[in-house]
Chains A and B, each alone.
Chain A
Amino acid sequence: MPIGIFILVSVIKSVIVLLVLLTAVAYTVWLERKVVGHMQNRWGPTRVGPFGLLQPAADGLKFLFKEDLTPPHVYKPLFLAAPMMAVIFALTSISVIPFGNSIQLFGYSVPLQITDVNIGLLLILGITSMGVYGVALAGWSSNNKYSLLGGLRASAQMVSYEIALGLSLVGVLIQSGSFSLRDIVEAQGGRFLYIIPRWNIFHGQLIGFFVYLMAAYAETNRIPFDLPEAETELVAGYHTEYSSMKFAMFFMAEYANMITVACLATLLFFGGWHGPLFGPSLMRAVLPVFWFIAKVFCFLFLYIWVRGTLPRFRYDQLMSFGWKFLLPLAIANLVATAIVVAW
């Protein structure tokens, strides 16, 4: 398609995806509060709107009106820039994630993905690697020993688990033969043994999936790996000194990372948007997106379920788990997959 139309379509897709993602972040917070509340035998938010559904709006207003305090001796440029970096990197990785097949609009075939690069998976790994900066610089610039320690611990944890994360994805890559996320999902179409769908988790990547899950929980600093943000340990870790909108940006970055991890898990291990198609042709065009969203929702629920259930790791347990168990397991999975594929 001509370059002008391409730019227009890309801009429209970016705006839509950004709005949907920000709403999803807000409602993931609502979901977490409700689910953890019910697990702890209490209601979550119920007052603001039916079932507390307007609670994220109330929280947003609160963040806007709260006093935005900058402590006196912080290193101001980085203090202001660190939450922005965290949010930018968290929101950028959604740009290579495909939500469904291509749709036909006004004669052009528009893929449901902001951009389909040949190296989509590597780009997501790269952006995850750069996400360490938001945390490390926030901890250092706050001029506060708890923030510095929390920031260093969080960055060391993220850097350590990035390796296991990357290696767990290589098994998927060997089976699919391409870095492009769309190609990886396409390789999971169809069935084998007549009834089992050809999703990577059933097709040999079960261990890879569990390594990915654990490494991703550690990357996003979620329970059971959330020592850097635990209140009883380090006040609040790297975001101790942040208030109002800057804290909201860290919050948004964390939940956006969660959503990206959930999207990646469905794309790489659960067949993406593949699912039973039925109904008239308009419904058939929309159903893949619905299946994708349903699977992402299951992963977010799993994230929240684990949060409500497990205690957190101590820091030395966390690091030894990442280096001494998860990394060898990821390498073993890679070697086994390579042998089987080369056979």
Chain B
Amino acid sequence: MSFHLILFLIFGAVCVGGAINLLAQRHPINSALSLIAVMAALAGDYLLLGAEFVAAVQLIVYAGAIMVLFVFVIMLLNAGVEEETKGSRVAILVGVPGMLIGGVLVAWVVLLRSGTEAVPIGALPGHPIDIAQLLFHDFLLPFEVTSILILIAIMGAVVLASKPESAAGKVE
């Protein structure tokens, strides 16, 4: 029961608990906050695997920018509490245990067949220098193409969000 395992279990429990809370909450802002907790716990898990750069970028990008946009949308649209629908009790009584058992079975079979073991920290590249080497030397073309893809997405978003009168004015 090393310290590493205890920390992993704590972060994993926060992650799973946040995900379950996300589904169980009725107000969307609570779901968004649970998702933030999931992202932060994942960053902790990445750190425990030795992927320090990925952990920091997960915090900056996912928990610090993408989730902020989610929260903005919920705040601006003033999304209220979800309505109560008459959920089927059979679905809950059979479905949730069924999913859990199915998930555990799949995970057990995969682990039994995969033949991998635990990797010590530091065995895989995680230092920013290693990632920089991969990103800017070995995978330079996919990196540049991805950045152009993101640029196209930004331009598309600007066009979609611009006022319709200006487009109509230009057409005339």
Contacts and interface: CB of A to CB of B under 8 A. Distances in A.
Contact of A136 (B40, B75, B128): B75
Interface size class of A (residues with CB under 8 A): 20 to 34
A129 B57 contact: no
Contact of B75 (A117, A132, A148, A166): A148
B72 A155 contact: yes
Interface in B43-94: 43, 52-53, 55-57, 59-60, 63-65, 68, 71-72, 75-76
A12 B55 CA distance: 27
Interface residues of B, number: 24
Contacts, number: 67
Given A129-B65, A130-B64, A133-B68, A119 B56 contact: yes
Interface stretch (A120-128, A226-234, A267-275): A120-128
Contact of A119 (B33, B40, B63, B128): B128
A123 B76 contact: no
Interface string B112-142: 0000000000000001100000000000000
A152 interface: yes
A63 interface: no
B36 A122 contact: no
Interface of A is mostly: helix
B59 A140 contact: no
B3 interface: yes
A3 interface: yes
Interface string A110-147: 00000001110011011111101100110110000000
Contacts of A118: 52, 127-128
A128 B76 CA distance: 23
Contact of B60 (A126, A136, A137, A139): A126
A159 interface: yes
A129 B128 contact: no
B64 A132 contact: yes
A122 B72 CA distance: 24
Contact of B68 (A3, A75, A119, A136): A136
Contact of B128 (A3, A75, A179): A179
A155 B76 CA distance: 13
B29 interface: yes
B65 A159 contact: yes
A155 B36 CA distance: 16
Nearest to B3: A3
A3 B2 CA distance: 12
A236 interface: no
Interface of A: 3, 75, 77-78, 117-119, 122-123, 125-130, 132-133, 136-137, 139-140, 148, 151-152, 155, 159, 162, 166, 179
The 3 closest A-B pairs by CB, nearest first: A129-B64, A126-B59, A122-B56
Interface of B: 3, 29-30, 33, 36, 40, 43, 52-53, 55-57, 59-60, 63-65, 68, 71-72, 75-76, 127-128
